[in-house]
């Protein structure tokens, strides 16, 4: 797989939405790119701020095993991290499960979705990287950053997307070879949260405690203050320090 087919749009509702539509038609192995999105999707039904100057793209692949799905977000986060590291010399971090951070601010968000059609499973890995934005709306100003804001330099968005795609192909190969350990180990190595105290909201509860690990099933392992260990598969980090 080379992922060399690209659908490029000036403006679109959401590249993930477009990819889902294509998957429904049996189309896969391509990248959907948009210069801006009218309704960029984030996790938990949030909107993703998608002004011109960011990299907004979705990687659409057909997956061989359902088991592979859960590693794709980490693979994408590592791919973005390596891209940013290489071209800026900064040291980004992965904030479990789907964000890339620089200096405690979010530079990238990832939304992985899946759909089935004719017994085939398609994965859509949606990636939003803040590249050349000079400012953000008030509501996210304190939590968001861009590569420009961190370096005072502008970057070629297309190059960032291609580099990230190529990195992703390498990590995806590891997943295809069932080498999940390497993905988890690398994610842990670059983790923002390990050893930090966090407050996390899950579907039915808010927990506080210290992050001690990420396990082989991508779960965040937290030691609560009563020494109980909990394993979280999905949650929203409210704060960390």
Contact 58, 139 (CB under 8 A): no
Cβ neighbours of residue 185 under 8 Å, at least 6 residues apart? none
Q: Does 52 bind ligand BTN (CB under 6 A)?
A: no
Contact 101, 130 (CB under 8 A): no
The minimum distance between CB 178 and ligand BTN, in angstroms, equals 27
Q: Does 157 bind ligand BTN (CB under 6 A)?
A: no
Q: Does 42 bind ligand BTN (CB under 6 A)?
A: yes
Locate 184 and state its tokens. 């988890």
List the end-to-end C-alpha distance of the chain, in Å, as a whole number. Answer: 41
Among 92, 126, 209, 235, binds ligand BTN (CB under 6 A): 126
Locate 199 and state its tokens. 């407050």
Instruction: Tell me how many degrees the CA angle 17-98-66 measures, rounded to the nearest 5.
Output: 65
Q: Does 199 bind ligand BTN (CB under 6 A)?
A: no
Contact 108, 42 (CB under 8 A): no
Q: Does 15 bind ligand BTN (CB under 6 A)?
A: yes
The minimum distance between CB 223 and ligand BTN, in angstroms, equals 26
Residues in the chain: 241
The minimum distance between CB 59 and ligand BTN, in angstroms, equals 10
Nearest to 183 by CA among 67, 43, 32, 78: 78
Distance CA 73, CA 54 (A): 19
Among 80, 111, 147, 183, binds ligand BTN (CB under 6 A): 111
Among 37, 145, 164, 191, binds ligand BTN (CB under 6 A): 37
Which residue number, 146 or 229, has a Cβ lying nearer to ligand BTN?
Answer: 146
The minimum distance between CB 34 and ligand BTN, in angstroms, equals 7
Among 7, 22, 31, 48, binds ligand BTN (CB under 6 A): 48
Q: Which stretch binds ligand BTN (CB under 6 A): 22-30, 125-133, 156-164, 198-206?
A: 125-133
Q: Does 165 bind ligand BTN (CB under 6 A)?
A: no
Q: Return phi, psi of residue 152, to 5°.
A: 65, 25
Q: Write the CA distances from 145 to 106, 124, 133, 135, 177, integer angstroms.
A: 6, 24, 8, 8, 35
Q: Which stretch binds ligand BTN (CB under 6 A): 122-130, 142-150, 163-171, 172-180?
A: 122-130
Which residue number, 43 or 223, has a Cβ lying nearer to ligand BTN?
Answer: 43
Q: Does 41 bind ligand BTN (CB under 6 A)?
A: yes
Residues that bind ligand BTN (CB under 6 A): 14-16, 37, 40-43, 46, 48, 56-58, 98-99, 109-111, 126-128
């Amino acid at each position: 797989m080379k992922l060399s087919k690209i659908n490029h749009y000036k403006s679109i509702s959401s590249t993930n939405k477009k990819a889902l539509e294509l998957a429904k038609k049996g189309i896969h192995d391509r990248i959907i790119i948009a210069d801006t999105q009218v309704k960029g999707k984030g996790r938990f039904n949030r909107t993703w701020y998608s002004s011109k100057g960011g990299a907004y793209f979705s990687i659409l692949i057909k997956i061989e095993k359902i088991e592979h799905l859960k590693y794709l977000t980490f693979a994408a986060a590592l791919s973005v991290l390596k891209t940013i590291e290489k071209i800026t010399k900064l040291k980004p971090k992965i904030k479990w499960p789907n964000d890339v951070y620089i200096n405690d601010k979010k530079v990238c968000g990832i939304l992985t979705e899946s759909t089935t059609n004719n017994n085939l499973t398609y994965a859509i890995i949606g990636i939003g990287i803040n590249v050349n934005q000079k400012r953000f709306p008030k509501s996210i100003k304190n939590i968001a950053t861009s590569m420009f804001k961190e370096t005072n330099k502008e970057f070629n968005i297309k190059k960032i997307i291609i580099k990230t795609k190529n990195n992703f192909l390498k990590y995806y190969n590891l997943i295809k070879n069932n080498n999940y350990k390497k993905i988890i180990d690398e994610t842990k190595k670059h983790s923002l949260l390990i050893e930090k105290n966090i407050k996390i909201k899950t579907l039915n509860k808010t927990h506080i405690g210290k992050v001690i690990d990420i396990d082989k099933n991508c779960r965040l392992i937290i030691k609560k203050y009563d020494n109980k260990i909990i394993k979280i598969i999905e949650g929203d980090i409210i704060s960390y320090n």
